[in-house]
Structure 1
Amino acid sequence: MDSKEQLATFAGGCFWCMVKPFDELPGIKSVISGYTGGTVKNPTYQQVCSDTTGHYEAVQITFDPEIFPYEKLLELFWQQIDPTDPGGQFYDRGQSYQTAIFYHNETQKRLAEESKRALEGSGRFNRPVVTPILQALPFYPAEEYHQHYYKKNPAHYQRYHIGSGRSGFIQKHWGDKE
């Protein structure tokens, strides 16, 4: 990682759906699917899905804040999730599919808290925003077959994105901002 690059880590339910919105944007160096927030070192997908590790499915983004500021990452993150759902995201239920923002420094924490307050005050949702803002913990990359799933399996990814209810939710609450 170059000295001006930073990390951002977001849990937004199924990590397959959290890569494409951030991938290949100016200033985004990489988007990696993985696991964070739990207690098991180097967990497997099967372990995380069992909801016994404490891990979330998440993405870790390496970005250049001079080209793509953290505030824009937060804005894009909120537009990919249902921040009012404490039990998971869309079709996927359980702790590993819950949402969270994992901050890497005090500036990210402050900006995440400000963006959450702004979203809560916007009136966009009729239920409270429950996405927690947590200190970043070790991040473990997911198995290779999960990386950039939307590119490797585009038809399945598209069916999942629509069938899970995510696509319709985003359209309803944000319009064409997918």
Structure 2
Amino acid sequence: MEKATFAGGCFWCMVTPFDELPGIHGIISGYSGGSVENPTYEQVKKGDTGHYEVVQITFDPELFPYERLLELFWQQIDPTDDGGQFHDRGSQYRTAIFYHNQKQKELAEVSKAAVAASGRFDKPIVTEILAAAPFYAAEDYHQDYHKKNTKHYKEDREKSGRDEFINEHWKH
């Protein structure tokens, strides 16, 4: 098993694309990349801890290669927005790939270059590729939020603009 850690804006919206796929053995919403140990959601959402909202995925690379995770990741975000994602604004909603080993770093860099060269976007790709930092699981009520609070999750996602962006840039 390996771990992959992605920041793609609101972590609720970053769980569902990877959920229940063969070779994915767990997805935990949490925080990474900041300076405060064991941050709370309230601290992170203020935007002054330096943390990103992230998902940490445990996967079997034989069944679900890291390259495929990267493909799915890029298709969930606006990689040109350094101020957050969709209606979620602030540093905690920036995008990043946190690599756990040299191979992941190299694959992330190749995938970023491919997205930049694809012509899908008019602006530069600002998603960062960073060494994995300490990961802190978010509070229990954030885990599997899309299953626990389906109605609120769907309403929030519909209002966010994420799906319109995905359809415009990735579905054709």
Tell me if 1:45 matches 2:50.
no
Code of the aligned partner of 1:72: R
Tell me if 1:149 matches 2:145.
yes
Q: Distance in 1 between matches of 2:120 and 2:62?
A: 29
Q: Distance in 1 between matches of 2:82 and 2:46?
A: 18
**Hey, what does 1:69 align to over in structure 2?**
65
What is the CA-CA distance between 1:52 and the residue it aligns to?
Answer: 1.3
Tell me if 1:138 matches 2:134.
yes
Q: Distance in 2 between matches of 1:163 and 1:50?
A: 21
Q: Distance in 2 between matches of 1:81 and 1:150?
A: 18
What is the CA-CA distance between 1:156 and the residue it aligns to?
Answer: 1.1
Q: Which of 73, 79, 84 is the matching residue for 2:80?
A: 84
Q: Which of 126, 131, 134 is the matching residue for 2:122?
A: 126
What is the CA-CA distance between 1:51 and the residue it aligns to?
Answer: 1.0
* Structure 1 residues 118-150: Cα deviation after superposition (integer angstroms, max 9, x where no partner): 000000111111000000011000000000111
**Hey, what does 1:9 align to over in structure 2?**
5
Q: Distance in 1 between matches of 2:162 and 2:118?
A: 21
Q: Which of 31, 35, 40 is the matching residue for 1:35?
A: 31
Code of the aligned partner of 1:160: D
TM-score, normalised to structure 2's length? 0.98
**Hey, what does 1:20 align to over in structure 2?**
16
Tell me if 1:113 matches 2:109.
yes
**Hey, what does 1:104 align to over in structure 2?**
100
What is the CA-CA distance between 1:152 and the residue it aligns to?
Answer: 0.7
- Please state whether the residue corresponding to 1:23 is helix, strand or coil: coil
How many percent of aligned residue pairs carry the same amino acid? 68
Code of the aligned partner of 2:140: E
What is the CA-CA distance between 1:161 and the residue it aligns to?
Answer: 1.0
Count of residue pairs brought into register by the alignment: 172
Could you say what the CA RMSD is over the residues aligned between the two structures, in angstroms? 0.8
Q: Distance in 2 between matches of 1:123 and 1:105?
A: 29
Q: Distance in 1 between matches of 2:147 and 2:170?
A: 24
Q: Distance in 2 between matches of 1:127 and 1:161?
A: 24
Runs of 4+ in structure 1 over 3 Å off: none
Q: Distance in 2 between matches of 1:149 and 1:166?
A: 17
Code of the aligned partner of 2:30: G
Q: Which runs of 5+ in 1 are unaligned?
A: none
